[in-house]
Amino acid sequence: MKTTEYMTIAEAAELLHVSKQKVASIIKSGELKVIELGPRSRRIPKAGFEEYIKNKTT
């Protein structure tokens, strides 16, 4: 089974226990990278998400 390499903002918010608006703020600050798929479609690379978590916990 192939695993997904990207997650939605909603999925990231759920994992971080914050709102989607907070994740958008983190993205805007540059702490979390995002891939733009269209004007209203963005995905967060899982590797980048894991790096963000690692940096926040150390």
Q: What pLDDT does residue 43 have? A: 97
Residue % of the chain over a pLDDT of 90: 86
- Compute CA 50 distance to the chain's CA centroid, rounded to the nearest angstrom: 9
55 pLDDT higher than 80: yes
For 2-29, what is each residue's pLDDT tens digit?
567 999 999 999 999 999 999 999 999 9
For 39-53, what is each residue's pLDDT tens digit?
989 999 999 999 999
Tell me, what DSSP letter sits at residue 2? P
Q: What pLDDT does residue 1 have? A: 45
In this structure, are residues 49 and 32 in contact, taking their beta carbons and an 8 Å threshold? yes
- List beta partners, residue 48: none
